[in-house]
Amino acid sequence: MKIAIIGTGYVGLVTGVSLALLGHKVICVGRNKNKIQKINEGRAPFYEPGLDKLLKKTILEKSLQATDDFRKALLNADIIIIAVGTPTIEGNIDLSAIKIAARQIGEELKHNKKYQVVVVKSTVVPTTTQKIIKPILEEYSGKKIGTFGLCMSPEFLREGNAVEDATNPDRIVIGQFDKRSGQQFAKVYNKVSCPKVIVNLETAEITKYTANSLLATLISFSNEIARVCEKTKGVDVLDVWRGVHLDSRLSPRINNKIITPGIISYLFSGCGYGGSCFPKDTKALAAYAKKIGVKTELINSVIDINQNQPKRMIAILKKTLGNIKNRKISILGLTFKSNSDDLRESPAITIIKLLLEEGARVFCHDPIIIDKNDKEELKGLPIILVKNIEDALRDAHGAFLVTAWEEYKKLAPDIFRKYMKNPIVIDGRRIYSKEIFRQSGITYEGIGLGEAL
């Protein structure tokens, strides 16, 4: 099939590559000429493991190309997928980019003779596709829905694992305006054997928020438990989770082997969730619910716990170090998770801002973030971004482990002892052994670690 995708960000490009690999002819539509050129040269404009290789393959095979020419991309498309950003502004979803994209699509539908299905893949609050996108498409095309189709199909890929998630999805949710729209869109996935959930537009929209809010809830629950442990002498939240995870309903046994399902990774305490989805989607769901008269007390608490979690890191440091004014503090890890270059809503950014407010000198390291000027979130922050871990740690009074990159997991206590004055390590992801670090003379503290008895 011929597929046009509006948006060349994480979702647009990864979806484009995965659909091209399924045998479709894909054109990704972007706005930035440099980015488009890069994609057409087989280089992804952001870091995602495995993406460059597959992008190159699809470009060479001519199954994928990028353009800024809307008309060319949409003219013969069977399916037009919208994958533009839907951030939040003051807690509410910002639909400005998707409204513009819908208008641009409508203007093209007007000229096109064939039956085309528009698919909303961006995350949007319930009723957006029906009440906002559909009227815009009808107005600008001058056509009634039915002469074109409409679906809402949320994306469940995880950054850092996006290529695998998109090429090998666990489920595909298709919200259809009518049967004809759904049937044409479902053909895109004929070769994919995973379950397909066919629902109406609103159900598809709310499914995405439910999935993300569930995972965010598990994380905030885990962080609330960590706070209880921190105030209870002799308790380490890691031991608590070991005891909880082994419940066979969480970790089933198959042939006497314990299986660790992916959900377990959300039942760990840390310095909070970030990224382009959980923070904005929980807030957008709460705002939507409020608008329709539903109180979301649980989701509100999930958001609140998460926003306060970076403050816990500062509190732990101050308890150990005292005044942090003019002290050198190093941050290991800036991205919101490992294997991604995404800094959107990363806990590291909040931690840095809190440290700067207290007058600390902040030295940062991240394996993938090399230039401060490449990232909007870092521009204007008076931090020093260094290229190697040693420079971040040298003469530092305290070090925060914020992102669980493999490179950091391998660090032995020696490197902290060698470069820091009286090494204090605050482990925001609990990746280090408390025993080994403490025995080697490091003041080791972390999320969920109560005082010794």
Residues recognised as catalytic: 277
Q: How far apart are CA 385 and CA 144, in angstroms?
A: 54
The count of other CB atoms within 10 Å of the CB of residue 382 is 8
Q: What is the DSSP letter of 133?
A: I
Which lies closer to ligand NAD via its Cβ, residue 327 or residue 344?
344
Do residues 273 and 306 make contact, with C-beta atoms less than 8 angstroms apart?
A: yes
Q: How far apart are CA 123 and CA 284, in angstroms?
A: 10
Q: Shortest approach of ligand NAD to residue 162 CB, angstroms? A: 7
Which lies closer to ligand NAD via its Cβ, residue 347 or residue 448?
347
Q: Shortest approach of ligand NAD to residue 268 CB, angstroms? A: 20
Place of tokens 């513009």: 100
Instruction: Quote the tokens at residue 362.
Output: 């902040």
Residue nearest to ligand NAD (CB): 9
Which lies closer to ligand NAD via its Cβ, residue 15 or residue 330?
15
The helix or strand, by DSSP H or E, that contains position 151, with its residue range, turns out to be strand 149-152
The helix or strand, by DSSP H or E, that contains position 362, with its residue range, turns out to be strand 361-365
Long-range contacts from 85-90, C-beta under 8 angstroms, 24+ separation: 85/7, 85/9, 85/122, 85/276, 86/122, 86/123, 86/124, 86/280, 86/284, 87/276, 87/280, 88/279, 88/280, 88/283, 88/284, 88/287
Q: Shortest approach of ligand NAD to residue 276 CB, angstroms? A: 5
Q: Shortest approach of ligand NAD to residue 295 CB, angstroms? A: 24
Which lies closer to ligand NAD via its Cβ, residue 342 or residue 366?
342
Which lies closer to ligand NAD via its Cβ, residue 69 or residue 406?
69
Sheet containing 117-120, strands listed edge to edge, beginning at the edge strand earlier in sequence? 64-67, 25-29, 2-6, 79-82, 117-120, 149-152, 172-176, 196-200
Q: Shortest approach of ligand NAD to residue 343 CB, angstroms? A: 12
The C-alpha angle with vertex 376 and arms to 375 and 379, in degrees rounded to 5, equals 90
Using CB under 6 A as the criterion, which residues of the chain lie in contact with ligand NAD when the complex forms? 6-12, 29-31, 83-86, 97, 100-101, 104, 122-123, 155, 157, 159, 276-277
Q: Shortest approach of ligand NAD to residue 26 CB, angstroms? A: 14
Dihedrals φ, ψ of 179, to 5°? -60, -40
Instruction: Quote the tokens at residue 413.
Output: 């206590």
Which lies closer to ligand NAD via its Cβ, residue 5 or residue 383?
5
Q: Shortest approach of ligand NAD to residue 30 CB, angstroms? A: 5
β-strand partners of 1: none
Instruction: Quote the tokens at residue 328.
Output: 């050198």
Which lies closer to ligand NAD via its Cβ, residue 74 or residue 402?
74
